[in-house]
Structure 1
């Protein structure tokens, strides 16, 4: 593999050397292996180290004052590690660890990784003489429980104080997966409800429009063209006509909804009833038209009479 195709680590950030050094060191070791440089001489490997760590690292290397015979890559990296660790503020790192909480929309795996990475810089080991036992797992478990965003899950885990770190992590993953599946199902149900409401609304709005259009064409009582003016003078209502089929008032036989026994086309009674009523209906229609004309004439006469009265009033006033 060509050396030019393998990229080494970028410049190390020395603002937080204790936190950044472990990751940068690991990246450089991976680079040496991938570029097949582990078998090269020490001067070349040190040169590669200084080339990638760049300006601030070169200044620290010069300040170390290593003799030529001690300049191996292992010694140089050990000196850099001591330099970085000495600048670790354990109290501040522990404060940062305690401040970690699961952010909104942050997955549990991301939250767990953040807690574990920060715990590495807190030196959670027993300080008693001869002990040096680590209690990092307990601190990670406590931080995960107390830092969870899901309050319901947090309360449930607090009741399981005897669970191990692995058991707590497993419960958190199961709960997160359950919540994700629940959101997916709720979303699908909402889509189905919305589509159902849209379909119902369209059908509901279309049907009355058809009915209204149908009702404005023909009067259901007399069969004449329906209008607002006609409704006031419908002959079947105004004259109190009675249907000759069902004998109920308010409509003509031709508009009767009751099914007549036998076929209407062959029924002499039906023909007689409808025929006689058609003649009456024609006369009623004429009367209805006359009633409308009479009403208009009366309205005009009242207007003329009102004008004459007002004119007479002003004439008397002039006298």
Structure 2
């Protein structure tokens, strides 16, 4: 018997225990333990169980598998929340691009829809005619005029 898709370890062990009633095992728990190790869906669970060595009992198998199943559910929940957050960010970015919204301008060149760190910014290597510093145009210069 193999663990079926979507079947918890407890459900799998219950099926094995029902089937074991038809067999003449000397140690049913040991046989079920071995079957779980060999036929479970999760290679991570198999790895964790084999690490335990000779101290591995059916109860330890169940406890380890349950803990791993809980962690798996938590991870899927967290990943789902992360995907929702990412989608919300993307939705927010799309809504900012709707007509009628004010688009931000680059503070180096003044061009709409571009940012100062963009490699295509024409002001990256330009000198300001107002303050004579490199990296922005006079039209966006924030230095105050010096009066004599």
The correspondence for 1:158, drawn from 40, 46, 50, is 50
Name the residue aligned to 1:195. Answer: 88
For the residue of structure 2 that corresponds to 1:206, the secondary structure is coil
- Encode CA deviations 1:154-211: one digit per residue, 9 max, x unaligned: 122112221111111110111111101111111111111101110111102436x767
Q: Give runs of aligned pairs for residues 146-225 of structure 1, distance below 5 A.
A: 146-162=38-54, 163-206=56-99
The answer to whether structure 1 residue 117 and structure 2 residue 15 are counterparts is: no
Equivalent runs, 1:262-277 vs 2, <5 Å: none
Question: 1 CA distance for matches of 2:81 and 2:140?
Answer: 48
TM-score by length of 1: 0.31
| CA-to-aligned-CA distance 1:245-269 (integer Å, 9 cap, x gap) | xxxxxxxxxxx999xx9xxxxxxxx
> Could you list the runs of 5+ residues in structure 1 that have no partner in the other structure?
1-99, 125-133, 212-255, 262-319
Write the distance in 2 (CA, Å) between the matches of 1:257 and 1:147: 68
Within-5 A mapping of 1:223-262: none
1:102-143, Cα deviation, whole Å (9 max, x unpaired): 11111122111111111111111xxxxxxxxx2111101001
Give the number of equivalent residue pairs. 107
Contact 2:10–2:62 at 8 Å: present in 1 too? no
Whichever of the two has the greater Rg, that structure is 1
Per-residue CA deviations over 1:68-126 (Å, capped at 9, x if unaligned) read xxxxxxxxxxxxxxxxxxxxxxxxxxxxxxxx1111111122111111111111111xx
For the structure 1 residues 158 and 257, does the alpha-carbon distance in structure 2 shift closer, same or farther, using more than 3 Å as the test?
Answer: closer
Structure 1 counterpart of 2:2, from 81, 101, 109: 101
Runs of 4+ in 1 over 4 A off after TM superposition: none
CA distance in 1, matches of 2:78, 2:140: 51
CA distance in structure 1 between the partners assigned to 2:66 and 2:80 by the alignment: 21
- More RCO (CA 8 Å, sep 6+): 2
User: In the aligned structure 1, how far is the partner of 2:140 from the partner of 2:30?
Assistant: 86
Q: Which residue of 1 aligns with 2:34?
A: 142
RMSD (Å) for aligned C-alpha atoms? 2.5
Cα pair distance change 1:257/1:191, threshold 3 Å? closer
The CA distance in 2 between the partners of 1:157 and 1:257, in whole Å, is: 65
